[in-house]
Amino acid sequence: MQSVIWGVNAFDQWGVELGKQIATRIAGELAGGARGEHDASTAGLIAAVRAAG
């Protein structure tokens, strides 16, 4: 709602596109693909999800 008030397209921002790219790579890793380089926090979460699956 705030983006409408400010006149900003909330779905056309570099952060949204970057998030989509990162999420696509991480989804591939969670599906058993090759591991990529991530910060310690993200790598730990991916490892925990893979171990639980």
Rounded Cα–Cα distance for residues 53 and 50 (Å):
5
CB 14 within 8 Å of CB 25? no
Name the residue type at position 47: A
> What is the model's pTM?
0.64
pLDDT on residue 48: 93
Q: Which residue has the tokens 């056309």?
A: 12
Longest distance between any two alpha carbons in the chain, whole Å: 44
Task: Give 10-residue mean pLDDT values along the chain (53 residues).
Answer: 86 82 93 90 92 86
pLDDT on residue 23: 94
